[in-house]
Amino acid sequence: MANNFQLATATRNASCNAIVDLLDASGSGTIKVYDGSQPANANTAVSTQTLLATFTLASTAFGSASTGAATLASTPLSATAAATGTASWFRAADGAGTTVFDGSVGTSSADLVLNTTSITSGNTVQITSGTVTVPAN
């Protein structure tokens, strides 16, 4: 028989809340935006990618999940770009710097939505929205 694993909405919400609550551990978490290819998974170290901007999150980074999705609180969120490049992915970490998850970056239809993906060193970059979603299956 084929795999057909499915989660109830309450389970998705609990899972999503547990994930985003990890960002609040050890103080305020961060979101670091990079250029280049996203690593194979969140356990893979950043290598040749350039760090474009670092955002410090609010002490409670995300709101409570609904239908398996939690939305980033306190947006828009601004940071000064540290380098020039094209933003393509991000890594979220807790206050101690431990990676929690990675995701896509774009100006729409991405896990993390920025005002622009063309980042210039010294300019202000804004996160306009961000969502973490635990799928139903």
Question: What's 72's DSSP letter?
Answer: B
Q: What is the pLDDT of residues 74-114, one digit of tens each?
A: 889 999 999 999 999 999 999 999 999 999 999 999 999 99
- Cross-strand pairs, 133: 69
What domain range is 81 assigned to?
A: 9-39+47-133
What's the Cα-to-Cα distance from 73 to each of 57, 62, 82, 119, rounded to whole Å?
Answer: 8, 5, 23, 23
- pTM of the full predicted structure? 0.94
In a domain, 98, yes or no: yes
Structure tokens at 6: 């499915």
In a domain, 76, yes or no: yes
Tally of structural domains, the chain: 1
Q: How far is CA 118 from the centre of its chain?
A: 18
